[in-house]
Amino acid sequence: MEVRQLQIFRTLAEELNFTRTAEKVNTVQSNVTAQIKALEEELGVPLFDRLGRRVTLTDAGRRFQPFAEQALVVMEQGQRAIRNGAEPSGPLRISAPESILTYRLPPVLRVFRRRFPMVELVFVPHIGVTFAAELDAGKIDIAISMCDTPSNPSYKSYRLRTERIFLFGEPSHPLANRRIVKPTDLSGQTLLLTEVGCGYRAKLDRALALQNVHPGNITEFSSVEAMKQCVRVGMGLALLPAIVISRELRQHLFKALHWAGPSLDVTTHILWHKDKWVSPAMAAFLELLQSQIDDAPPADPQAATCCSS
């Protein structure tokens, strides 16, 4: 099995088109066909179905894809390690929820960029556990996940911090000035929530299900900034980390509800595949992240006290 065959396989699996694959790998279409045929003969199974002009991965091709990707990533990392020695360099691909990416990471990135200018940082936002397939395939190096207990034995992890999670609305909302708000009070209410799979959304869903509470309407968002704007115009109640809405709380644009249900707070972990080679760039980022993001008291006194957990 040759590196060139794996490179052509990876590109064809992404493009599903022999002509575009040939262009991307700088060869002729007949060579792409020959290399894929040789790889299939070596493996003893077809990797692609050719249905007229249409090309699709077979089941064997889909199973082989993450391993081919991992092999190529490791080879590329090894080449960089030899070229650059122990100096952190090359691409570092990180997946994180939008709230962490926007509100927690910038101070860390400023320090990292100053210390390690040769590292090429690439960031990918995610919802819930959508990072898992990319970690397994080696397409990302590190994932930051808002999950209380990472349970996948394929990953190594360490805890970063606990994020306070607030249910909130604009100040005139009928529940905003209640002394306490119980899960049953959300019956019939309009809720603005992140997509299914988000750690803190899952906690609220469980709390409501346990008491058989049915909201009036649930609108899902992939953007926390869009959720905030919809709360401002009075569309309903939303659930977000305190760090995301701390400025609006100070400005009295939002009001956090005095939640009396089960705690919605969530623990943030950093994850990477147990079989992944930890490059100098990755090691440097892990060390800096752990030292910079901890469970320091919230900077906003209102955000620290306006809800019970």
In terms of phi and psi (left: phi > 0; alpha: psi -120 to 50; beta: otherwise), the region of 200 is: alpha
pLDDT in tens, 218-255: 999 989 999 999 999 999 999 999 999 999 999 999 99
Place of tokens 């022999």: 18
Order of strands, edge to edge, in the sheet holding 190-194? 217-221, 190-194, 237-241, 165-169, 255-256
Assign domain 3-81 to its CATH architecture: Orthogonal Bundle (1.10)
Name the residue with higher pLDDT: 306 or 269: 269
Nearest of 106, 104, 162, 154 to residue 131 by alpha carbon:
154
Average pLDDT over the chain, rounded to whole? Answer: 87
pLDDT in tens, 124-163: 877 767 788 888 888 899 999 998 887 788 899 989 999 9
Query: Would you mind telling me the total number of residues written for the chain in this entry?
Result: 309
pLDDT in tens, 154-212: 899 989 999 999 999 999 999 999 999 999 999 999 999 998 888 999 999 999 999 99
Which CATH entry fits the domain spanning 90-162+267-298: 3.40.50.970, 3.40.50.10490, 3.40.50.10790, 3.40.190.10?
A: 3.40.190.10
Q: Over pLDDT 90: what percentage of the chain?
A: 58
Cα distance from N-terminal residue to C-terminal residue, the chain: 56
- At a CB cut-off of 8 Å and minimum separation 6, what does 205 contact? 196
pLDDT in the model for residue 128: 67
pLDDT in tens, 37-81: 999 999 999 999 987 778 899 999 998 988 888 888 777 767 666
pLDDT in the model for residue 308: 32
Find the mean pLDDT for residues 275-287: 88
In the DSSP assignment, the letter for residue 185 is G
pLDDT in the model for residue 219: 95
Q: Where are the domains of the chain?
A: 3-81, 90-162+267-298, 165-264
Query: Is pLDDT above 80 for 100?
Result: yes
Distance, CA of 245 to CA of 295 (rounded, Å) = 18
Distance, CA of 137 to CA of 132 (rounded, Å) = 9
pLDDT in the model for residue 126: 79
Range name among 23-32, 78-87, 205-214 with the lowest pLDDT average: 78-87
Show the beta-strand stretches assigned E in 7-98: 48-51, 54-57, 90-96
Nearest of 89, 135, 80 to residue 112 by alpha carbon:
89
When pLDDT is cut at 50, 70 and 90, the band that residue 4 belongs to is confident
When pLDDT is cut at 50, 70 and 90, the band that residue 304 belongs to is very low
- At a CB cut-off of 8 Å and minimum separation 6, what does 90 contact? 77, 80, 84, 118, 119, 120, 279, 281
Question: Is 199:148 a contact under the CB 8 Å cutoff?
Answer: yes
Distance, CA of 309 to CA of 300 (rounded, Å) = 16
CATH 3.40.190.10 for domain 165-264, yes or no, is yes
Question: Is 208:183 a contact under the CB 8 Å cutoff?
Answer: yes
Domains 3-81 and 90-162+267-298 share a fold: no
pLDDT in the model for residue 285: 94
Query: Is pLDDT above 80 for 113?
Result: yes
Question: Is 81:279 a contact under the CB 8 Å cutoff?
Answer: yes
Distance, CA of 132 to CA of 272 (rounded, Å) = 10
Name the residue with higher pLDDT: 35 or 72: 35
- At a CB cut-off of 8 Å and minimum separation 6, what does 235 contact? 190, 192, 219
pLDDT in the model for residue 81: 62
Q: Over pLDDT 70: what percentage of the chain?
A: 91
